[in-house]
Amino acid sequence: MDLMIRYHDGPGMGSPAAIIEYFGGHLQETKEGGGLVSCNGYLSRDGQVKPEVINADLWREIGWDPAKQELPPPAMLRELSMGYDLHGNKLTVGRGLFRQPKEALITLPAEVSQSLKDHPEIAREVLRATVAAHLAEVERQAIRVRVGGGNREWQEARTLSLFYIHAENRGGEVHYHAHTLTFAPAKATDGTWRSWDNGQNVAMLSKKGGSREKATDAMLSAARGHGLEVDLRRGVAAKAPGQVQGATVKGLDGHVIEAGSLDRKRRVEILAAQELKRE
């Protein structure tokens, strides 16, 4: 099946202080770093996980230069969540005062992760390509603009997005994934700042030509470009009940991992929690 891309608001990101805590805690701590901690440039000088950014020029414009300051400053996270940059300029209007960043969790198939357990640098490159494809689709229809006659249309805009790559799930199993976070301000093609609207991307997420399909295409291309043979059934898992999930992967060492053959403790825990919630 196509990649899992799951939007959520991040655990406890309901206030500026909570956002700062989430960044400084789960996102930047090395608990899920696995083999990535040995990769060049993965950790900051003080041993925390560094984010990767898109549109670095926009981040510099609002007051943070990732090339000079490795981790996003807490003051910037606080101001951005209120619609301001670090210079005190208001970037967004309307929709209330506080807007937390939207998080999309993008996870590689378990079999791909397992085959790359001893190749974290390749896994990072695969996820970079995957995230780039997803965010390109996010930005393609990122704002709604009035065009006259009471009508609006979706238009392209550049976003303040960054992502953290982790190597393990919370159960300590190798499972490469990326936390992508996009803040509310977005810069339109005319140079004005507007409020990012993810509605169209979410509506199209699992449809033909949506970001799930395009991110999966990018993942497959990048993995194959690094020597993996990956075969998976395309489509959305929810629309194929009873079908084998995952991917069949022939790794760099020639070892084949069949789709659905991995027993994931974390997956069992999630399913059990969902069942308890239904009860």
Q: What is the pLDDT of residues 189-220, one digit of tens each?
A: 999 999 999 999 999 999 999 999 999 999 99
Q: Collapsing DSSP states into helix, strand and coil, what is residue 50?
A: coil
In the chain, the largest separation of any two C-alpha atoms, in whole Å, equals: 61
Model pLDDT for residues 60-96, shown as the tens digit of each residue: 999 999 999 999 999 999 999 999 999 999 998 765 5
Name the percent of the chain lying above pLDDT 90. 77
In the numeric block, which tokens belong to residue 222?
């990048």
For the full predicted model, state whether its pTM sits above 0.85: yes
Question: Among 11-15, 154-158, 262-266, 268-272, whose mean pLDDT is lowest?
Answer: 268-272
Check if the beta carbon of residue 214 is closer than 8 Å to that of residue 140: no
CA 66 remoteness from chain centre:
18
